[in-house]
Amino acid sequence: MRVFSLLILLSLMVGSSVSAQKYFTRNGKISFYSDAPIEKIEAHNIQSTSVLDAATGRMEFAVLIKAFQFEKALMQEHFNENYMESSQFPKATFKGEIKDPAQVDFEKDGEYQVIVTGDMTIHGVTKPIEAPGLIKVEGEKITATSEFELIVADYEIKIPAVVRDNIAKTVKVSVELNYQPLKKGS
C-alpha cells in the first residue's frame, strides 16, 4: 500500500511538472522589414499565436496575414491582394524545435542563445528554416526572440515588374513571443 501511495504521489508530481512545461501566447509580435533603394516597407502583427513545449523544445506558431499593419493603407491592400493573396493563403505557420533543448533551463532565470529549426509555410509553400534565437526565462514568463531573413521568391510570392525595384528580394523578419504557462483547459 505504501509503494502504491508513493507511485500515485510521484505520478501527480510528474504530471504537474509536464503540464507546467507548456507555454502559450495569443499576442506574439511578428514584424518584417524590406529595405529597397526606392521604398522601405515595414509591417507589424501582434496577433500571432504560439505554443512552446519546454520538455521537448517543440514550438509552433501561426500568424494571420491580414493582421499585418502597414503605415500606408494602400501598401496593406497591395500586400494582401497582390502579393500574399491572403484570401487564398490566410496564414503563415512555423513548426519546429529548439535544436538542443537541453541547453535551456526553463526552471532557472537567465538568457539562452538557441538555434531553432523547422518548417516555415508562407503563401502555401513550405520550406525548411534555421534561425538564431534568444530565450529569456524570468520566473514563469518565457520570452523568445529571433531575427532572420527570408527570400521572397522562395515562397513563390510574385512581385509585378512595375514595382519590382521597390521591393527587396529578401525581408528581415523579427519575432517576439511572450509566453505564459499553458493552463489546463486553455
Distance CA 36, CA 166 (A): 6
Residue type, 97: E
Q: Is the pTM of this model over 0.85?
A: no
Distance CA 42, CA 122 (A): 17
Q: Is residue 61 part of a domain?
A: yes
- What is the residue whose three cell numbers read 521537448? 56
**Sequence-ordered list of residues with C-beta below 8 angstroms from that of 67, at least 6 positions apart, any chain:** 45, 46, 47
What's the number of domains the chain is made of? 1
Q: Is residue 43 part of a domain?
A: yes
For the chain, which ranges sit under pLDDT 70? Answer: 1-20, 184-186
Which residue range is the domain that position 55 belongs to?
A: 2-181
Which grid coordinates belong to 130? 534555421
For 43-52, what is each residue's pLDDT tens digit?
A: 999 999 999 9
Q: Is residue 186 part of a domain?
A: no
For 146-181, what is each residue's pLDDT tens digit?
A: 999 999 999 999 877 777 777 788 999 999 999 999
